[in-house]
């Protein structure tokens, strides 16, 4: 099968157009199911697997890292798969905290260094292909948080840098900070975007990404399953622990 590959900004990485989100691994997808999904994804020409250290710490009995651990076990079962996939993970939510009703990401350099080591250990790999700030933290100076990412690149721990949940203004500031300080520039913006919520990207944020040559990788691309046809009426929301996330879409404008 021939799949058109798309570059991830200036990273030197190229991926197939559809990425596989690993949020459910170790949560609503058990190990056997996770392995079947991952196998089918690669066999179908998929290359990019997206996860995060915090997946799925919100589940009773979990502590975070469950998704990375599942992916790591899958890779260990068949090490040849490592060369076929681009692994993206994120740092900041695991170890962050609520402040005045707002979740503050842990992006201090030591949190980034320790988070990276823990992710590498769970994934069972030597290098993370794409490593994201999971969420902006304006309280941590960008030279510090981006400087830590740059050090990880130079140490061979990560290949490329991504920024998730950044505003247009902060995206500009981050790229300009990297350029001014001789740091590795971010390659990817990850943001909320799907066909019923286009305004979350289109406009200033998209223009900022384009100006800096960043690739855009959306999350909630299927609107929590609504665009896949999983939820069509309120009774459908009980079919999954994730169902209530789609309640907002059961309105005329979304249909």
Distance CA 129, CA 118 (A): 15
Q: Return the structure tokens found at 14.
A: 């190229």
Q: Is 55 a catalytic residue?
A: yes
Distance CA 15, CA 8 (A): 7
- CA-to-CA separations, 87 to 105, 154, 158, in angstroms, rounded: 21, 18, 10
Instruction: Please report which helix (H) or strand (E) contains residue 160, including its range.
Output: strand 158-164
Q: Exactly one of 55, 166, 193, 249 is catalytic; which is it?
A: 55
Axis-axis angle for helices 168-180, 142-154 (nearest 10): 60
Distance CA 198, CA 221 (A): 10
Q: Return the structure tokens found at 219.
A: 């999350």
Residue among 63, 67, 84 at smallest CA distance from 27 = 67
21: left (phi over 0), alpha (psi -120 to 50) or beta: beta
Active site residues: 55
């Amino acid at each position: 099968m021939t799949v058109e590959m798309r570059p991830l900004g200036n990273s030197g990485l190229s991926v197939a157009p559809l990425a596989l989100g690993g949020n459910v691994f170790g949560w609503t997808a058990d190990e056997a199911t996770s392995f079947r999904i991952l196998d089918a994804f690669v066999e179908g020409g998929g290359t990019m697997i997206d996860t995060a250290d915090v997946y799925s710490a919100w589940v009773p009995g979990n502590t975070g890292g469950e998704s990375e651990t599942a992916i790591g076990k899958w890779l260990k079962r068949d090490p040849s798969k490592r060369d076929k996939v681009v692994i993206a993970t994120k740092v900041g939510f695991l170890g962050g905290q609520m402040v005045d009703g707002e979740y503050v990401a842990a992006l201090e350099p030591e949190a980034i260094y320790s988070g990276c080591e823990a992710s590498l250990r769970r994934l069972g790999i030597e290098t993370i292909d794409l490593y994201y700030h999971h969420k902006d933290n304006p309280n941590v100076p960008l030279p510090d948080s981006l400087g830590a990412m740059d050090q990880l690149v130079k140490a061979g721990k990560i290949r490329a840098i991504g920024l998730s949940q950044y505003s247009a203004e902060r995206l500009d500031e981050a790229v300009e900070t990297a350029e001014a300080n001789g740091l590795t520039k971010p390659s990817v913006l990850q943001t909320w975007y799907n066909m019923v919520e286009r305004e979350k990207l289109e406009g200033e944020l998209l223009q900022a990404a384009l100006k800096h040559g960043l690739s855009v990788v959306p999350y909630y691309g299927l609107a929590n399953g609504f665009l896949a046809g999983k939820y069509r009426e309120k009774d459908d929301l009980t079919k999954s622990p994730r169902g209530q996330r789609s309640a907002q879409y059961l309105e005329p404008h979304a249909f």
